[in-house]
Structure 1
Amino acid sequence: MKSLKLVFFLYCILFAILQVLYFLDYPLPNFIRFYLADFLCMPIVLSICLLVVQHLKKDKSLRLNITSISSVFLMYTVYFEIILPPIHWRYTADFRDVLLYLAGSIIFYFLQKAP
């Protein structure tokens, strides 16, 4: 669990730095500009979900099961890649985003099981 907390902390810092760079309009490679946030998304969101569940249940040994992780992954995929692109100009449907959501979900699944 310590490894998950460390990754969560590092991902949050990396995401914050990325947002500052966006705000400053700093030139970034396209992969970082368009895809890094998608990769960071699932581990951050799922870590927050896990912490909330552990707090509510008062059981620090709880872990999210594959069904819960898959549900969040599918919800993000449907919402951000299917529902939003036709109704808001800022969002575009991109299969690479889905793959990055999936990669982040898989990383979270294994990190939460680590000691």
Structure 2
Amino acid sequence: MLKRLICFPVFIVALTIYLCQHLGLPLHWLVNNYVNDFLCLPLVLGTLYFFIRYLKKDQNFQFSLVFVLILASYYSFFFEYYLPKVSQRYTADWIDVVLYFAGAILFFLVEKQDNRKCLT
């Protein structure tokens, strides 16, 4: 239930930030540089949950913590190490790495808590 209450507003916040950046509208530097990095993996994981649960017809499906950490590691490596080396558009920032992991772990904990409530 908690997941369902926060999923849509999180998507709207991320989309609004993206649109403001794309349109060149001014944003606070923390919002401009870090909020979407924090929200990225919860949105990706939430989308993956939706499709996997739909395709498997298993509403209790959960990713393991290992999978969540591997996905955060992949995003960190790809966006903060690899892409800055091959494209000037991207910059490496260790704070983004922390935010990828924080968002992924928060999502995992919220999903685990939400799933426990559904089972009881």
SS in structure 2 of the partner of residue 114 of structure 1: helix
Task: Identify the residue that residue 68 of structure 2 maps to in structure 1.
Answer: 69
Report Cα offsets for 1:70-109 as digits up to 9, x if no partner: 1211110111011100111111111000010011011101
**Contiguous gaps of at least 5 residues in structure 2:** 115-120
SS in structure 1 of the partner of residue 8 of structure 2: helix
Taking the aligned partners of 1:9 and 1:97, their CA distance within structure 2 comes to 23
TM-score for both structures, normalised by structure 1: 0.92
Report Cα offsets for 1:43-79 as digits up to 9, x if no partner: 0001111112212211001111101111211110111
Taking the aligned partners of 1:76 and 1:24, their CA distance within structure 2 comes to 25
Q: Deviation at 1:113? A: 1.4
RMSD after superposition = 1.1
Q: Deviation at 1:34? A: 0.8
Taking the aligned partners of 1:80 and 1:21, their CA distance within structure 2 comes to 21
Higher relative contact order (CA 8 A, sep 6+): 1
Taking the aligned partners of 2:47 and 2:4, their CA distance within structure 1 comes to 10
| Contact map agreement 1:39 1:104 (CA 8 A) in 2 | yes
Task: Identify the residue that residue 12 of structure 1 maps to in structure 2.
Answer: 11
Taking the aligned partners of 2:88 and 2:4, their CA distance within structure 1 comes to 35
Task: Identify the residue that residue 103 of structure 2 maps to in structure 1.
Answer: 104
TM-score for both structures, normalised by structure 2: 0.89
Matched, 1:52 2:51: yes
**Contiguous gaps of at least 5 residues in structure 1:** none
Amino acid of the structure 2 residue aligned with 1:27: P
